[in-house]
Amino acid sequence: MTAAPLLVELLTEELPPRTLQTLAQAFARGIENGLRERGFLAPESRATAFATPRRLAVHISSVAPKSEDKPFKQKLMPLAIAQDRTKNWTTAFLKKLEALGRGNLAHVKVGTHDGPDALTVESDGKADAVFLQSVAAGQLLLAGLQAALDEAIASLPIAKPMSYQLADGTTTVQFVRPAHRLVALHGHAVVNVAALGLSAGTKTFGHRFHSRGELPIHTADTYAAQLEEGKVVASFEERRARIVAQLNAAASKAGAKVITPEDLIDEVTALVEWPVVYESGFESAFLAVPAECLILTMQQNQKYFAMTDANGHLMNRFLLVSNIETRDPSDIVAGNARVVRARLADAKFFFDQDRQQSLESRVPGLASVVYHNKLGSQLERVERMVGMAVFVARSLGVDVTHVERAARLAKADLRTLMVGEFPELQGTMGRYYALHDGEPSDVAEAIAEHYRPRFADDALPASRVGVCVALADKLQALAELFSIGEKATGDKDPLGLRRTAIGIVRILEERAPGVDLHVLVRKAVEIFQSSHPGFRLPALHESAWNTKVEATSVDVLGFLYERLRGLLRERGFSANEVEAVLAMEPTRLDLVPAQLAAVRAFMQLPEAESLVAANKRIGNILKKADAIHGDFDPARLFEPAERDLSTAYARVKPVAEDLFVKGDYTAMLKSLAPLKLPVDRFFDDVMVNVEDEKLRNNRLALLASLRATMNRVADLSRLSAL
């Protein structure tokens, strides 16, 4: 019996488009893994998932009709129980053989065979025991595939399964959507499995409109080609590629550029089986509405693709992906134009209505918008944000008046009709409405920018006012949520704390030079805990309040450093390089890249390895030492090696400190190179922990001072490979 390709398809009613890919991959992976675990697949066998709006399928390149026989060894019972004193089998042992269907072995001696079966005596680690050695017959594909199919269906990530009755009118089945056909072909032969009340066959259906009647699949390998003839592109990836190519071609023909968000392309791919792109349009009068509103309306409500002209301006033309191919698409084009017109009219109504009321007049209404059930309203949060934004502005030397104004208006658009319909436009609409109200341009820009970055690789706030409000918003969010115990755990982060922290790190690194991270975090925690009834004085004694503030600040800082650690590793820095710099808990994140570059350059020096080892050794000595009193006194050094180290250190220290103050970290670390030989000689010739307390303390003080200078840029001991 030879291996052959396998096809399994479930034909269903329309599947949820946003989870189609996930379902298809899980279905294919489940069947592949189930068959592989049961020994039906060779190592080179490959599975291909297919997914259309009405089907989940998998093709596996090579599947054996029967799994291989497998030798096995099974412990039966201890020898002392299996045999009596005359070494005959006991009644208990014979009953054991009968229960296993191996009664024929009752007269077999140890070490001899009866067919594939043999009895052996081996130690089980405690005593001798009788083992059965035999061969388990391979499983037929029917049984193996049935088990794999059942497992795959049971493990599909279905959030809300549907319950529906089968044709018999009594049996209820649960699945993501009602299933109507099951195809299972091994080569050209049907594998008679069953699932969801369906028995496997060869017949499926092609396109709902372009294909008529049942479509018999000839063999597993002809599946995709036959569906193509039935106007169905079975491969999700191929269908997606066709859509992208058609969109680009249609846009090019119109002299435009098409806006193609990845998630929208995926969703549209999951909605059609035979994609065809058509162009339609709307009245140019709607272009008076902000482009972001029109684009979002087209994308979210209608799954259309907006187009821009050569100057990047939105056009009153759009592209749609249809599931129907026709020589005369005029009805499709006109119908979609009618539908989008109504949607855009709603957007225009929202925009016109919103502008009749100023942003400033909407601020009091934020008192009725809940921010968090333990943190109060959005208005309360805005008050805290304003205080934090002003503090950040003063730290950066930015116009406090405009920063305060932007922070106060930043959340006001949450009370508008447009943002109520499209929450994604918060900030964006605030900018438009602020400009309409006559607010300064930097205030308006900051309202839009304070949400940035919204996601990985998103743009940072470009304006200085925007930087201040964005930092205030994000720092307050972490301070508030950490104060009430809301923290990201494992892979769960429903409040987006990791995203918020990464935003803070990126802004401080790239847009806020000279700002002290520790001071910012402490201030954010103080602002919240001084205003919240559960934290503020006199509800708590001052010492208890300070303790809570400090504990929360430490937690927030640790969280921020963890996010920074991940970002730096993604940029290609080694774990040792990152740990060396972050071990110092740097307060200025804008200097971290220069510190990392300096560490990397230092490690190229021939003296680096020895200095790193010495630094680590000094650290270990100091950890075990009692408190060190005062600075070291060069006059108390009498061993030649320690005097030489002191002299060399006296020459290096002022140079190193000067370079550090100037920010030339690379040169600063390189200036440590002359210390290698005197440090090595010191450890060869000098005993640090001597009986004489004054001498011991003086040597420890020398080492402590030396290590402090060496570790101004980074903790060099963290660079050790050991």
Q: What domains can be seen in the chain, in order of their start residue?
A: 4-66+140-229 (3.30.70), 70-136 (no CATH), 237-354 (no CATH), 369-572 (1.10.3210), 591-719 (1.10.730.10)
Whether the predicted pLDDT of 242 surpasses 80: yes
Comparing 67-81, 271-285, 588-602, the range with the smallest average pLDDT is 67-81
The DSSP secondary structure of 112-152, one letter per residue, reads -EETTEEEEEEE-SSSEEEEEEEEEPPPBHHHHHHHHHHHH
What is the signed CA dihedral for 153, 156, 162, 166, rounded to 10 degrees?
-10
For the segment 102-125, the average pLDDT, to the nearest whole number, is 80
Tokens standing for 680?
Answer: 């090595």
**By the 8 A CB rule, do 455 and 263 touch?**
no
Tens-place pLDDT, residues 323-361 = 999 999 999 999 999 999 999 999 999 999 999 999 999
**For 278, left (φ over 0), alpha (ψ -120 to 50), or beta?**
beta
Distances 636 to 93, 643, 706 between C-alpha atoms, Å? 86, 9, 16
**By the 8 A CB rule, do 317 and 307 touch?**
yes
Tens-place pLDDT, residues 643-657 = 999 999 999 999 999
Comparing 56-70, 92-106, 242-256, the range with the smallest average pLDDT is 92-106
pLDDT of residue 539: 57
Pairing of strands 314-322, 305-308: antiparallel
Pairing of strands 276-281, 314-322: antiparallel
Whether the predicted pLDDT of 577 surpasses 70: yes
Tens-place pLDDT, residues 514-564 = 999 999 999 999 999 988 877 766 656 777 778 889 999 999 999 999 999
**Prediction pTM value:** 0.81
Tens-place pLDDT, residues 165-212 = 988 888 999 999 999 999 999 999 999 999 999 999 999 999 999 998
* Element housing 287 (H / E): none
Angle formed at CA 489 by CA 485 and CA 493, multiple of 5 degrees: 90
Tens-place pLDDT, residues 666-686 = 999 999 999 999 999 999 998
Whether the predicted pLDDT of 256 surpasses 90: yes
pLDDT of residue 406: 98
Whether the predicted pLDDT of 630 surpasses 80: no
pLDDT of residue 641: 92
For the segment 424-433, the average pLDDT, to the nearest whole number, is 97
